[in-house]
């Protein structure tokens, strides 16, 4: 129910969804224009640029993850409701990923065309984003809950979550780089999968604890 509700709210705010996706496309598209049309250089930077663009795009909507619920009193009902708050936090993180993360997974191979990335790497790129972007949403949920109602929360949110995003960025971009070097990239993908399992198990309950603190 929470996931469906969040998706309906997102559909009413299509401009917010479109803004994050357009930001991803624009940032990823600016680098070839600024660096030039040197194929080898573009192939070398492609994984990192696409992953950094996805990371920054995912952060755009984090400060709105709980803001509306906090403003209209829905958050208090969630805290006091019968459903475990951790489950609700997990559902909101899933909805955030479906709205902001999944479209980036789908469009990333198209952006890779600008970097002359080998077609055999498209699957690795999409798989790394498929495993990594949910981790961004789960970790971002903790930061969004901690900064809820704080003045200048957007800047503080970035300072909190960016250091935690670094391992995901390194593993995600590294998987594509290793695959392009002929080394497979399976190890990085397995680590991303492990990060997703750990984040899915613990991040919602950390988010729930932060929401209880913020709602007091």
Tally the residues of the chain: 216
pTM recorded for the entire structure: 0.89
The parts of the chain modelled with pLDDT lower than 50 are none
pLDDT of residue 152: 65
Rg for the chain (alpha carbons), in Å?
Answer: 18
Q: How many CA atoms lie within 13 A of 137 on its CB side?
A: 24
> pLDDT tens, 46-98?
999 999 999 999 888 887 777 777 777 777 777 777 678 888 888 888 888 88
Cα–Cα distance, 176 to 189 (Å, whole number): 9
State the pLDDT at residue 155: 79
């Amino acid at each position: 129910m929470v996931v469906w509700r969040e998706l309906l709210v997102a559909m009413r705010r299509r401009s917010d969804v479109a803004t994050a996706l357009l930001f991803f496309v624009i940032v990823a598209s600016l680098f070839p224009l600024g660096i030039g049309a040197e194929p080898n250089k573009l192939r070398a930077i492609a994984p990192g640029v696409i992953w950094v663009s996805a990371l920054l795009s995912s952060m755009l909507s984090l400060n709105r993850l709980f803001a509306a619920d906090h403003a209209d009193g829905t958050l208090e009902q969630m805290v006091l409701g019968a459903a475990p708050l951790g489950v609700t936090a997990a559902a909101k993180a899933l909805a955030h990923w479906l709205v902001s993360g999944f479209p980036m997974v789908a469009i990333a191979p198209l952006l890779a065309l600008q970097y002359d990335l080998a077609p055999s790497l498209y699957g690795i790129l999409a798989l790394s984003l498929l495993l990594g972007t949910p981790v961004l949403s789960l970790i971002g949920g903790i930061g969004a809950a901690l900064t809820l109602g704080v003045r200048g929360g957007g800047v503080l949110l970035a300072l909190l979550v960016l250091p935690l995003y670094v391992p995901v960025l390194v593993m995600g971009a590294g998987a594509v780089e290793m695959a392009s070097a002929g080394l497979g990239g399976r190890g990085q993908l397995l680590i991303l999968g492990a990060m997703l399992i750990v984040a899915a198990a613990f991040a919602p309950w950390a988010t729930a604890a932060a929401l209880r603190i913020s709602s007091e």
